[in-house]
Amino acid sequence: MTSLTSVLLSGLSGLRAAQANIGAASQNVANANTPGWARTQVVLTPHTDLGDGGGVDISGVTRAANRFLAAASYIAQAAQGSSAARADILNRAQANFGDPSDPTSMFGLLNQFWSSAVQLGADPSSALQRGSTVSALQATYSEVQRVGQSVQNLVSEADQRIADQVKEAQDLMNRIADFNTQIRLTKSNGADSTSAENAQSQLINQLSSLMDVVATPTDGGGVSIRTGGGALLVGTQAATISYTPSDGNFASHGMIQLNPQLGSGTSLEPMLGGGSIKGLLQVRDQDLPSLARALGGFAGALGDALNQVHNENASSPAIGNMVGRQTGLLATDSLNFTGKAVIGVVDANGVLKDRLHVDFDAGVITSDLSSTSYSFSGGAIGDLASALNSALTAETPPGSANFANGVMSLNVGNGGGLVIQQDPTAPSDRAGRGFSHFFGLNDLVSSTTPMFFQNGIKGADLLGFNSGGEIDYQVRDTDGRFIANRSISISGALASPTATWDDLLNALNASGTGLGDYGVFSRDAATGQISFAPNPKFQATLTSDTTQRGGTGVSFSALNGLSEAATAGRSLTVNVNSQIIANPLRLAVGQPDLTAALGTQVVEGGDNHGAAALVAARDSIRSFDAAGALTAQSTTLGTYAARLGGEAGRLASDSQRSADGAQAIATAANDRRSQVESVSMDDELVKMTTYQNAYSASARVIQAAAHMLDILINLGIETPV
């Protein structure tokens, strides 16, 4: 026979159980719209006394959380965070490039330049039309510079957002670790820890959008958090992560450090497989630099193509003082030219006074007027400059030539002018460019740094770098882990006046002190350009270059195109020659016939052959080097420009498709998780009604037992115990 005590205890346990369930249901209803809240439920177990039923025990309160669905949600959120961050920035980059059909985009402005050049051909003597053509080209390059700077601004923005999100992730990790402590203490006291667990789960959800995480329950309560690559973010305490953003264009970026206080120099970056931080790293280190290099390649290729034509042309009146581009070369460098060039000396009326034949193979300059020869058989650039100076000094009135600090200059006096062209049968050539083109003596487009990197230097040429400069590289493996720093200093043997480019190449490729363990530097025998081919297991990044070649101000990396500032930087430095901007009459739209007899007028204001040649440059097939997102190719300038715009659009559209797909997957994963974990208002209201009825029933059991006890006491019957 069940004792009245058991009945009372059973009723009391029923009251407690119903009360706990009502509290859980109320809490669920109150948090029905709280993101990440997993509904709580009371776990009841039967209570027996020596085999007799004694009601129920509350063994705990748990969350209706599914660990595996949560893991799938974390993975999906990390993928969505990564693709969304990347798509956001690449869409904005593409918007800066603009629609090729938009007349205000750089592609539309370039088309306006070509149209203006066509119109100039119809009226080459018009000063107004020359000014319009120069303005159209200047507008094109101004837009290229704007787009180039916008890309660099986006790189800086991505870098700053990485720093901000690393701080946010650190805060989340600290709070998750604090909840671990709270949950363990609560559980050890036998209290309800579900509120803390739900709050912690929400923090993990937020962290999973910043980086991919794996949450593993730990004994005693709480979780440990690792990245997909295995880096421990939260254990008994939170790890420390830090990042300092860089500033300025083409800055060298540091790494996200993991537990820097331990001095281990561990990078978190290779251990990230997803999350918005991962997406920002990809867009900062890969996508945007690829676009920037392509844009720089386009700016340089367009300028080089126009300069090739412009150096064969002549303005009216002809230029009397030609100042070339900064080549980065020294007077002691080997000339390394083949073939022939012709320099026409004209008077103020454009009449051909003399013709100087420059024969690079024979090392001699010959004047048609005096039949005098001037030798530059020494074979150095300085020897050529000296011979040109002698030849021009002999003209009437006398002129001069000079090569100093990397710049070639020629001039004639008293309103005369110079016209330089390739020999029609044996054109001059150094690293693929003719004499005037290589030295930039009549450039339409100019740059403060080398516009192309085919410098024609030979391995035996003197090195010529000033003592004390340094070339610094940082080496990482393919996962981004730091391996080594390497510095090649212009000191000792490399600072010797007899040091050669081959000596520098050997130092760069040295094992242990150079980068020989991580890749190979090589020099192209045809162009002189030095390139670096990394070992597939490593990536070497130029972090600093303080070298300077003589008085040129040109560094090793700038001369060879080995830095972002040298390659991508061309989009910011290339522009229309400032002298032509100031005086559009210097725009060379004529193409004189230097085969004419001396005394013939060869420079005329109505000559439009040069304007036609500029327009023809748009559609002529030429070779383009690989530049970032654009592969090496042979095509026209028009097609090359279109492919650049297409590449920007492709990157943006691909990233947006990826973001849309990742969003769909994340939504599906969260919906599936929500079906298991989320609160149903209808279910909870039904439960509350049920538990209220159960509470009333338990109360009636207790009331009935108490009434029976009263009756038994009044009858004088001893109640069983």
Residues 659 and 695 in one domain: no
63 pLDDT above the threshold of 70: no
Give the per-residue pLDDT at 479: 75
Query: Could you tell me if residue 258 is inside a domain?
Result: yes
Task: Tell which wins on pLDDT, 389 or 682.
Answer: 389
So what's the pLDDT on residue 415? 84
Q: Are residues 91 and 230 in the same domain?
A: yes
Which residue, chain included where needed, has tokens 């700077």? 149
Cβ contact 505:530 at 8 Å: yes
Q: What is the tens place of the pLDDT at every residue in 381-432? A: 999 999 999 999 999 999 999 999 999 999 998 889 999 999 999 999 999 9
14 and 162 assigned to the same domain: no
Identity of the residue numbered 464: G
pLDDT band at 266 (very low <50, low <70, confident <90, very high): confident
In a domain, 456, yes or no: no
The pLDDT of residue 526 is above 70:
yes
Phi, psi for 284 (deg, rounded to 5): -75, -40
531 and 548 in a single domain? The answer is: yes
Whether the CB-CB separation of 170 and 211 falls below 8 Å is answered with no
* Mean pLDDT across 623-635: 84
Full-model pTM: 0.88
pLDDT at 677 over 80: no
Task: Please indicate, yes or no, if residue 635 is contained in any of the structural domains.
Answer: no
> How deeply is 466 buried, as exposed, middle or buried, from its count of CB atoms within 10 A (0-12, 13-18, 19+)?
middle
Q: Considering its fold, how many domains does the chain have in total?
A: 4
Q: What is the 3-state secondary structure (H, E, C) of 325-388?
A: CCCCCCCCCECCCECEEEEEEECCCCEEEEEEEEECCCCEEEECCCCCEEECCCCEHHHHHHHH
Residue 325 CA from chain centroid, whole number? 29
- Statement to judge: residues 367 and 420 lie in one domain: yes
What average pLDDT does range 504-527 have in this prediction?
Answer: 96
Look at residues 539, 403, 561 and name the one whose alpha carbon lies nearest to residue 476: 539
Q: What is the CA radius of gyration of the chain?
A: 39
The confidence score (pLDDT) of residue 640 equals 87
Show Cβ contacts of residue 490 under 8 Å, excluding neighbours closer than 6 positions. Answer: 463, 465, 466, 467, 468, 469, 470, 547
What average pLDDT is seen over the chain?
89
In a domain, 230, yes or no: yes
Q: How confident is the model at residue 66 (pLDDT cuts 50, 70, 90)?
A: confident
Task: Output the pLDDT for position 625.
Answer: 82
pLDDT, one tens digit per residue, over 572-610 is 999 999 999 999 999 999 999 999 999 999 999 899 999
The terminus-to-terminus CA distance of the chain in angstroms comes to 10
* pLDDT for residue 666 is more than 60: yes
pLDDT 10s digits, 231-245:
999 998 999 999 999
Question: Is 644 within a domain?
Answer: no
Which of the pair, 621 or 139, is modelled with greater confidence? 139
Per-residue pLDDT, averaged over 261-286, amounts to 91
Q: Which two tokens stand for residue 59?
A: 């063994």
**In-domain check, residue 640:** no
- Does residue 611 lie in a domain region? yes
- Identify the pLDDT of residue 431: 96
The answer, yes or no, to whether residue 209 has pLDDT greater than 70, is yes
pLDDT score recorded for residue 1: 42
Q: What share of the chain is helix, strand, coil (3-state, %, to 5)?
A: 45, 20, 35
CA dihedral 378, 380, 384, 386 (to 10 degrees): -80
pLDDT over 70 percentage in the chain: 91
In sequence order, the 6+-apart residues with CB closer than 8 A to the CB of 260 are 240, 242
Q: Are 559 and 453 in contact (CB under 8 A)?
A: yes
Together in a domain, 87 and 221: yes
CA distance 233 to 229: 11
Highest mean pLDDT among 9-18, 273-282, 622-631: 273-282
Compute the half-sphere exposure of residue 563: CA atoms within 13 Å on the CB side of its CA: 25
Each residue of 113-131: pLDDT tens digit?
Answer: 999 999 999 999 899 999 9
Residues above pLDDT 90, as percent of the chain: 69
377 and 497 part of one domain: no
**Strand partners for 404:** 407
Which residue range is the domain that position 699 belongs to? 4-64+679-715
User: What CA–CA distance (Å, rounded) separates 229 from 211?
Assistant: 11
Distance of CA 639 to the CA centre of its chain: 24
Predicted local distance difference test score (pLDDT) of residue 676: 72
Residue 252: left if φ>0, alpha if ψ -120 to 50, beta else—which one? beta
Q: Are residues 191 and 275 in the same domain?
A: yes
Tell whether 177 and 133 lie within a shared domain: no
Rounded CA separation 372/354 (Å): 12
* Average pLDDT rounded to a whole number, residues 312-335: 95
Residues 246 and 280 in one domain: yes
Q: Which of 533, 560, 587 is the last residue of a domain?
A: 560
Q: What pLDDT, on the 0 to 100 scale, is given for residue 681?
A: 66
User: Is 708 inside a domain boundary?
Assistant: yes
Phi and psi of 668, rounded to 5°?
A: -65, -45
Provide the token pair at 54: 């004694």
- Same domain, residue pair 265 and 324: no
pLDDT digits (tens, 9 = 90+) for 149-174: 999 999 999 999 999 999 999 999 99
pLDDT for 528 beyond 50: yes
Contact between residue 530 and residue 566 where contact means Cβ atoms under 8 Å apart: no
Residue 721 has pLDDT above 90, yes or no: no
Res 311 pLDDT > 90: yes
The sheet carrying 266-267 orders its strands as 241-242, 257-258, 266-267
Paired tokens of 244 = 């300092």
Is residue 258 located within the same domain as residue 156? yes
CB 96, CB 123: distance < 8 Å = no
